[in-house]
Amino acid sequence: MESYRDVGLHRRIGLIIRKHSENREDIREIANKALRWKDIHRMLNLGCGYGWYEEALEHRLDLIVGVDVYEENREAFLRAARKVSTSSLFLPSRLPCPIDMPSGFFDLAVSIYSLYFFAGVLPEVKRILALDGTFLAITHSEAMLEEAEELFQFRSMRATIEGFSAENGEAVLRRHFGSVTHIDYDNCLVFNACDREDLRDYVLFKKGFISSDEDPDFVAEKLLHELLRKGMLKFNKNDRIFLARK
């Protein structure tokens, strides 16, 4: 998780993912089209980071609250949230934990590429959501590791992703919510021979995941060697958008 406290690096990785995605549609726009914005006035973002999700919002809200473990994300998150909300608040907390907000307070709660770190927060999410509120979660497919696992053993990273994945997310959410739907986002990342720097940065951004199983520098060099040998590498980047309601 340490990589997520470096706002500049995290933002650069987001740009690399956009640049090398075969699917050119922004997953945030797809998710936002599925929401009833006329009924949404107060939003909670769990694992908010620097405000990547807020940067794609077009609807103005009364309140946006972000919860994140890293204080370093405060300024960037609040800057993004203030552009689309009357009031905003950043709560530095390590999830899962109690959220100091009234029951039934939020019309929308979101967790974007983060719920696998703290799926234990779901009972609290259900508590703070309004009766007709929505929980939006975007997560990875377990298949994102398949290409790299031809070369490496990523048991710890796989265990993390399996905390809340495209494959098991519906079952996890149905323990707490009565209605669960999903939207699939098919994608892959393509790196060509001229993209060595981008590939290295992308791999080393995940060093916190990788280091439990392999030396991140060794993984980066091995993949760069494979890129040079093959001329192109492609990685599964299929994601799933979940929408859950009480």
CB contact at 8 A, 227 and 233: yes
The one-letter amino acid at 201: D
Q: What is the pTM of this model?
A: 0.95
Q: Which two tokens stand for residue 94?
A: 């390590």
What parts of the chain have a pLDDT lower than 50?
A: none
Complete domains list, the chain, with CATH: 2-144+151-189+238-245 (3.40.50.150)
CA–CA separation, 67 and 126 (whole Å)? 16
pLDDT at 134: 98
pLDDT at 148: 86
Q: Which two tokens stand for residue 61?
A: 């809200």
pLDDT digits (tens, 9 = 90+) for 68-115: 999 999 999 999 999 999 999 999 999 999 999 999 999 999 999 999
Which is nearest to 99 in space by CA: 45, 53, 51? 45
The residue behind tokens 């060794």 is 218
pLDDT at 145: 85
Residues 6+ apart with CB under 8 A from 133: 104, 106, 107, 108, 109, 245, 246
Task: Annotate 22-69 with three-state secondary structure.
Answer: CCCCCHHHHHHHCCCHHHCCEEEEECCCCCCCHHHCCCCEEEEEEEEC
pLDDT at 1: 63
| Distance from the first to the final alpha carbon of the chain | 30
pLDDT at 192: 98
CB contact at 8 A, 76 and 102: no
Backbone φ and ψ of 148, nearest 5°: -70, -30
Which is nearest to 90 in space by CA: 122, 138, 44, 123? 44
